[in-house]
């Protein structure tokens, strides 16, 4: 699922820098939630029946990092507007 969000964020990044940035922040918060469930011994059965694997957490973090990096590079190189339809002078 994180790979799909990464692909969608990269494709829609041509319309606005905000899309990959917000999707990256969402995935980063998801990673934080997954990390807290791995580190908290009382989290089992609270809202997840099993703890997420480290590899799944790595994919989510890597996708978040790549989306935030893409948003930054889109901004630096001027490849996409911040607000859709409004180009910088």
Q: Indicate the number of domains in the chain.
A: 1
89 residues of the chain, pLDDT tens digit each: 889 999 999 999 888 999 999 999 999 999 998 888 888 777 666 666 778 899 999 999 999 999 999 999 998 988 888 887 777 65
Tokens of 24: 């990256």
Q: Is 63 among the domain residues?
A: yes
Q: Residue 85 domain-assigned?
A: no
Asked if residue 44 is part of any domain, the answer here is yes
Range of the domain at 24: 2-77
Domain-located, residue 84: no
The structure's pTM equals 0.85
């Amino acid at each position: 699922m994180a790979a799909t969000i990464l692909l969608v964020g990269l494709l829609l990044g041509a319309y606005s820098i905000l899309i990959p940035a917000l999707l990256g922040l969402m995935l980063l918060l998801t990673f934080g939630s997954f990390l807290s469930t791995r580190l908290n011994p009382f989290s089992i059965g609270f809202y997840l029946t099993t703890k997420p694997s480290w590899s799944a957490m790595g994919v989510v973090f890597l996708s978040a990092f790549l989306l935030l990096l893409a948003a930054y590079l889109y901004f630096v190189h001027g490849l996409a507007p911040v607000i859709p339809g409004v180009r910088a002078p």
